[in-house]
Amino acid sequence: MGRRRGAALETAALVLVLSSAFLHAAWNALLKRHPNPEVGVVSVMSVVILASGIWALGMRGPAFSSSEGLVWALWAGVCESVYLAGLARSLRQAPLGLAYTVSRGGAMLLVWPVSVLWLGEAVSSWTVSGVAMLCVGLAVMNLSRPSGAAGAGVAWAALSAVGIAGYHLSYKMALGTGAQPPALFATGLLVALPVLILERGRQQGWAAFRREALLAPGLVLTAGLISALSFGLLLTALAGGGAGVVLTLRNTSIAFALVLAALQGERLGRRQLSGAALVAVGALLLGVPA
């Protein structure tokens, strides 16, 4: 699609993506602490929509300059539904570090081929080295196969990865039409939220759903604001960077998630720490100019 985009990120974009990565890991860690993450994610996303909507109102110009951008935003919302449904279930059944690694790493492996072959993203030796290092790090962290509830949680995390890849590419296409980041994100979530509410209400029972949706209001508000800021920074960086390199670099959030998981009492072995170190090195290589 036209001129190939550079694989490396400018310093400003690099800072935006890394900040987004940390904030994304933080709101996932907060969701893990909710009494019922599968209902808590609905409350958190409601806060995100409100915050993103207020942010969009403060921006100049049209939210969507073409109908094509709006269509991509709506499709991103469908993918967000898949992502959020898988995320909540994986966090309920698997450790934070494992669920987060599978979902983010799986999405990265799905996005790269599409980004290079369809979106014309350039690939340099530094990019290849960085992606390879990240893949090795992800593999090292998942050498042992989980069983029981954790195994089911990993399966949900894999489904979440498909949703992440889908909304990431959809947002990239919408941004290419001139869509504004906060309006784009809010629109995608407006599509996803009713699907989540209907699915959760039927699963939990509507009385229990209404009761549990109001639990931990301070945690929900904090997680929602952090999530809105995280995605706002991501989309701002994505507007000027390749989809593959931005998503891959944002997966440094895996290392952040492991640290936060340790702070929540999850035990980190040498394998996980070594994998996190490889992920960090791979992220640095992706920031090297081509």
CB within 8 A of 104, min separation 6: which ones?
A: 161, 164, 250, 251, 253, 254
Secondary structure of the chain in HEC code, one letter for each residue? CCCCECCCCCHHHHHHHHHHHHHHHHHHHHHHCCCCHHHHHHHHHHHHHHHHHHHHHCCCCCCCCCHHHHHHHHHHHHHHHHHHHHHHHHHHHCCHHHHHHHHHHHHHHHHHHHHHHCCCECCCHHHHHHHHHHHHHHHHHCCCCCCHHHHHHHHHHHHHHHHHHHHHHHHHHHHHCCCCHHHHHHHHHHHHHHHHHHHHHHHHCHHHHHHHHCCCHHHHHHHHHHHHHHHHHHHHHHCCCCHHHHHHHHCCHHHHHHHHHHHCCCCCCHHHHHHHHHHHHHHHHHCCCC
Read off the pLDDT of each residue in 27-44 and give the average, rounded to a whole number: 88
With a cut of 50, say whether residue 119 has pLDDT above it.
yes
With a cut of 70, say whether residue 282 has pLDDT above it.
yes
Which pLDDT score is estimated for 1? Answer: 42
Which pLDDT score is estimated for 144? Answer: 59
Which pLDDT score is estimated for 47? Answer: 94
With a cut of 80, say whether residue 146 has pLDDT above it.
no
- Of 41-45, 46-50, 59-63, 125-129, give the lowest mean pLDDT range: 125-129
**288 φ/ψ angles, rounded to the nearest 5 degrees:** -75, 130
CB within 8 A of 45, min separation 6: which ones?
A: 84, 189, 192, 193, 196, 224, 227
**41: buried, middle or exposed (CB in 10 Å: 19+, 13-18, 0-12)?**
buried
Q: How far apart are CA 31 and CA 149, in angstroms?
A: 18
- Does the pTM surpass 0.85? The reply is no
- Of 78-92, 125-139, 257-271, give the lowest mean pLDDT range: 257-271
Read off the pLDDT of each residue in 245-269 and give the average, rounded to a whole number: 71
Read off the pLDDT of each residue in 121-144 and give the average, rounded to a whole number: 74
Tens digits of per-residue pLDDT, 51-84?
988 988 888 888 898 899 999 999 999 998 888 7
Domain boundaries, the chain: 11-286
pLDDT mean across residues, the chain = 80
Which pLDDT score is estimated for 187? Answer: 92
With a cut of 70, say whether residue 34 has pLDDT above it.
yes
With a cut of 80, say whether residue 269 has pLDDT above it.
no
Which pLDDT score is estimated for 4? Answer: 44
Cα dihedral sign for 6, 233, 216, 203?
negative
Strand partners, 5: 121
- Which phi-psi region, left, alpha or beta, contains residue 211 (left: φ > 0; alpha: ψ -120 to 50)? alpha
With a cut of 50, say whether residue 17 has pLDDT above it.
yes
Tens digits of per-residue pLDDT, 190-210?
998 998 898 888 888 899 999
- State the pLDDT confidence band at 124, using cuts at 50, 70 and 90: confident
Measure Cα distances from 95 to 174, 221, 260, 278, 290 in Å: 34, 23, 12, 20, 37
Read off the pLDDT of each residue in 223-248 and give the average, rounded to a whole number: 80
Amino acid sitting at position 117: L
- State the pLDDT confidence band at 7, using cuts at 50, 70 and 90: very low
Read off the pLDDT of each residue in 19-43 and give the average, rounded to a whole number: 87
CB 102 within 8 A of CB 165: no
